[in-house]
Amino acid sequence: MIYEVSFECGNKVGGIHTVISTKAPFVKKYFPYTAIGFHNEKQAKKEFVEKTPPAHLKNVFLELEKEDIICKYGKWVDPDVDIILIDSNNWKAKNINNLKKMHWEKYSIDSLGAGDDYDTPVAWAHCAGKLLEKIIVSTDIVHAHEWLSGAAVLYLKGKVPTVFTTHATVVGRAASSSIDIANAVKSRSLDADKMAKDYGVNAKHNMEKAIAKTADVFTTVSQITADEAEVILGRRPDVVTPNALNFENVPDLPSIRVEYEKYREELNEFIRAYFTPYYPLNPSLAPIIFTAGRHEFKNKGYDIFIDSLAELNKRLKNNTVVAFLFIPSKHNGPNAEVLDNIVTYQRVKEMMDTSWEKVKEKII
């Protein structure tokens, strides 16, 4: 049995959710498979269908419930795999300080000033370790993703084979918006421990280092990240497992063309409504390009995208390109002026369409 442990199993936060949910059906073809995730009630309503647990799990769940660890068994809807979600909030409230003390004494993880963004995943992952300890057999493997699930690896040390995958180091993520991490890694000119303190991610960094050194197998997703992990975490990954694309559900070209025509017209309507009050624009002739990702200006390359648009603007001269940046972030709701423009555009369009029908009848 492979137990895949991630804070994002059944709890969509970012890209790791996509990586695991698309990978899981393929793993299930070759190995017995169960995902272990964090119980986020809001997300669980979208992603999780609770079912009656098998007898052996039901007994374990009852034992853990006595420790304030609540486990729910069911199906992770999109990848259609078995999943156990763990609610560790009550356990955390009573035990987090003792857990952090133990991590300090055993692994020198300094988490004294860490907040709930550290405490919640660490408590959850520790509880995942306690669950796995009760259900694993010697042939099982536990695969944990990112520092958030790493406390399970620490808890299970010597009890079952463990794999730890980092998709990007904590320090690398934190520093990427202000320095060129790749060049700093190449020159080995960075002090990762000092940077972790400077960027306020000391506890997460120390946790990540401890997991990387403790796991039986350490992996990452690219050679660049492997170089970064070696310098920042002090261990070279044993294996690089690149993220892949699943083309099985990609529609054929004729279907794509039909969908393109449909949605392109919807985009054209929006573009007309958005720009018409300010610029004369025919969107039907304008290429549309876009970028999407987390709100990390340099880490996700938005700075390069915007600079490229400036260069494109110089080269195209009188031609038009429409660019979208899809970046989820805090906001105060839709822009009222844009909504007003869209409503006005739709009213004018309806009026013109109606008028044209009447004029056309007279002409004919």
Q: Would the pTM of this model clear 0.85, i.e. be above it? A: no
Q: Is the pLDDT of residue 16 over 80?
A: yes
CB atoms within 10 A of CB 146: 24
pLDDT reported for residue 119: 97
CA dist 298 and 290 (Å) reads 16
Looking at the predicted structure, is the pLDDT value of residue 132 above 60?
yes
Q: What angle do CA 233, 239, 242 make, to 5 degrees?
A: 100
Burial bucket for residue 11 (CB in 10 Å: 0-12, 13-18, 19+): buried
Nearest residue to 127 via CA among 161, 163, 159, 90 = 90
Q: Structure tokens of 179?
A: 């320095």
Mean pLDDT, residues 155-179: 92
List residues bridging with 289 in a β-sheet. Answer: 323
pLDDT value, residue 93: 96
| Residue 215 near residue 172, CB atoms below 8 Å | no
268 CB contacts (<8 Å, ≥6 apart)? Answer: 283, 284
Mean pLDDT for all residues in the chain = 91
Alpha-carbon distance of 170 to 227, in angstroms, equals 14
Angle at 288 between CA 313 and CA 252, to 5 degrees: 145
State yes or no: pLDDT of 364 exceeds 70: no
The two most distant CA atoms of the chain are separated, in Å, by 90
Q: Which ranges of the chain does DSSP label H, i.e. alpha helix?
A: 15-30, 41-47, 55-65, 89-107, 116-135, 150-155, 170-175, 181-187, 192-198, 202-214, 223-233, 253-275, 302-316, 336-363
Any idea what the Cα angle at residue 338 is, between residues 326 and 308, rounded to 5°?
A: 40
The first and second tokens of residue 233, run together, are 């975490």
d(CA 72, CA 233): 34
Q: What is the pLDDT of residues 201-212, one digit of tens each?
A: 999 999 999 999
Range 28-36 average pLDDT: 95
List of residues 6+ apart from 274 with CB closer than 8 A: 338, 341, 342
Spatial separation of the C-alpha atoms in residues 132 and 36, rounded to whole Å? 9
Q: Which domains does the chain have, with CATH numbers?
A: 2-240 (3.40.50.2000), 253-363 (3.40.50.2000)
Report pLDDT digits (tens) over 83-117. 999 999 999 999 999 999 999 999 999 999 899 99
Count other Cβ atoms within 10 Å, centred on residue 211. 27
Confidence of residue 190 (pLDDT cuts 50, 70, 90): confident
What are the residues whose beta carbons fall under 8 Å from the beta carbon of 172, sequence distance 6 or more?
181, 225, 228, 232
Count, residues in the chain: 364
